[in-house]
């Protein structure tokens, strides 16, 4: 299967529970023969599309901080939702959106 995760925070650049969960599940799915893509904010240096542990990472946009005054930035959520409109150009068997606010879910639809 061809699987896409849509989540703005990408492990290991951002360390949190959801990020680590997506990373671990993705690695295991790749080992089982699936093609796994993760669409998130580009936290890394270099190319916007890279492969880590067999998982295709796609940096769809650049942002400097997920949090404002200790809370997730609504502007960042809106920005990421808008970026997913043009970021997911391929067809996938499964698209798993993991984020609140769910702006990226609406724009990731087929």
Q: How high does pLDDT run on average in the chain?
A: 87
Residue 61: other Cβ atoms inside 10 A:
18
pTM for the structure as a whole: 0.87
- Between 5 and 82, the more confident residue is 5
Give the CA-trace dihedral at 26, 99, 38, 50, to 10 degrees: -120
* pLDDT of 109 above 60: no
Higher pLDDT: 64 or 54? It is 54
CA 61 remoteness from chain centre? 11
pLDDT tens-digit readout, 86-98: 777 788 999 888 7
* Token duo for residue 73: 């930035």
pLDDT in tens, 4-26: 999 999 999 999 899 999 999 99
Assign domain 2-108 to its CATH superfamily. Glycogen Phosphorylase B; (3.40.50.2000)
Q: Where are the domains of the chain?
A: 2-108
Q: Is the pLDDT of residue 107 over 60?
A: no
Mean pLDDT for 67-95 is 85
In the numeric block, the tokens 């798993």 are attached to: 96
Please give the order of strands across the beta sheet that includes 2-6. Answer: 49-52, 55-59, 35-40, 2-6, 94-97
Rounded distance between C-alpha atoms, residue 23 and residue 28, angstroms: 9
């Amino acid at each position: 299967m061809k699987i896409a995760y849509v989540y703005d925070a990408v492990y290991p650049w951002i360390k949190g529970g959801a990020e680590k969960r997506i990373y671990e599940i993705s690695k295991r799915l790749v080992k089982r023969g699936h093609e796994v893509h993760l669409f998130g904010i580009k936290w890394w240096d270099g190319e916007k599309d890279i492969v880590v542990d067999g998982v295709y990472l796609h940096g769809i946009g650049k942002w400097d901080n997920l949090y404002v005054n200790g809370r997730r930035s609504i502007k960042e959520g809106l920005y990421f939702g808008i970026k997913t409109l043009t970021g997911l150009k391929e067809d996938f068997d499964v698209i798993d959106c993991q984020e609140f606010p769910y702006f990226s879910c609406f724009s990731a639809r087929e």
